[in-house]
Chain A
């Protein structure tokens, strides 16, 4: 199949994914991933070089957007309570999955680390969707869960960028440029966006894209990954985007219309249905290796900081999607994991987006009204308790 013919198939499938997503109320990314699996397995279509390249860039744009979507003020207010949950939510599955893949599945050390990183994530978007849908994002518990999710994602991004670094002079350049962009762009952006922004030619988006391409190139030269600086750069610009919603919307339009569909299709096309079928047992074990340490590690802390909704909090912290897919694709592209390992990791990531979410919503979801009432009652009771002491 010619490259242009592949582009036609992909464009049609991407359009179809959007309509299915709207009709079924399922995230477009999940439908794109699923259709990518269908296209990659049903047709004789290899993943073309241009799709690999654009997909890699799209992964970094997604990471940047994830950072830009963090509510920094909310995190500052909640970080003490959410730090422990977030750290354990990353570290417990990372250690268990890495050890399990290395010793039980006999994966290479680097492949095991990729498994640990990909399966340690918590999906900010899945969590956000559940909380906003019910109005719980306006409650203390909702804000705490969101902040903890940010900590976990930060751990994932840091691990992906740091664990595969090979010492060289490029590391210094990578670190220096990352720091300069993270410190400099928030200072430059008000002037730059003010002078050149709000135009159809979109200089502000081009500035961000230039910074991300630069980080990708330097990350590649250092055998690292640009995911951490891209995430932190997004974070550094989040306050700017919070007050300039139109700019953020335009950035999203570019990302959602062209870049992210190709990222998720690329991910889906690399999944081998035959490899999954042949390794269903391993798939189940890897899923358990993600879920058991998440549940066992987060639940005791959630009982302390998110009572009486510890089970709900723990299940939401066990979800994963975007960062898990980004980590798995990095492993595949760098030749660290093979097609079977990649397929297993992505399948577990997708399962972890669905299974804990469904259980949390069906069995443990508090109502926002009840939660607000409980918070008001606590606010009234607290001064009385203080006075009694």
Chain B
């Protein structure tokens, strides 16, 4: 089999939806095992109140919980078993780390294409491609 363990990163964006669809297709074709990783991005930096942090955290938890449930339902409708994982932290760093921990042999992720930020800081896709130990599929 070309791929046995596929990790797809999802964040609720259109690009990540397209990546998830491709990952489902690929999993169905190869009979691989599929895991979806959702990364809760950073909380407000240098917060002045615990309340501000807690409220943002609560909103993120609710959003990502809905996102993973929807992913599970979509995978089930396609006849694919899906493992899900939600982690807080830096997206590129966590995608690479979880891929290593989970022994993924392919990472699938979307590319949003934010012109200014990508040129100044580099995109998540760039960083994952640079640091991952396995093939990376970028879905545009």
Contacts and interface: CB of A to CB of B under 8 A. Distances in A.
6 closest residue pairs by CB, A with B: A29-B48, A69-B50, A125-B47, A27-B47, A252-B51, A27-B44
Contact of B41 (A25, A26, A322, A354): A25
Contact of A126 (B46, B51, B54, B88): B46
Interface string A220-256: 0000000000000000000000000000110010011
Q: Which of the four size classes fits the interface of chain B?
A: 20 to 34
Interface SS of chain A: helix
Contact of B43 (A124, A129, A252, A255): A129
B135 interface: no
B42 interface: yes
Contacts of B50: 65-66, 69, 124-125, 128
A155 B57 CA distance: 29
A260 interface: yes
Interface string B41-72: 11111111111111101000000000000000
B113 interface: no
A28 B87 CA distance: 24
Q: Name the interface size band of chain A.
A: 35 or more
Contact of B88 (A21, A25, A132): A132
Interface of A: 21, 25-30, 62, 65-66, 69, 123-126, 128-129, 132-135, 248-249, 252, 255-256, 260, 264, 321-322, 325, 353-354, 357, 367, 369
Given A29-B52, A256-B52, A126 B47 contact: yes
B45 A25 contact: yes
Contacts of B52: 27-29, 125, 256
A21 B53 CA distance: 12
Prevailing SS type, chain B contact patch: mixed
Contacts of B45: 25-27, 30, 129, 357
Nearest to A30: B46
B122 interface: no
Contacts of A30: 45-46, 48
B89 interface: yes
Nearest to A354: B46
Contact of A132 (B49, B57, B87, B101): B57
Contacts of A65: 49-51
B43, B51, B53, B87, most chain A CB atoms within 10 A: B51
A129 B55 contact: no
Interface in B22-52: 41-52
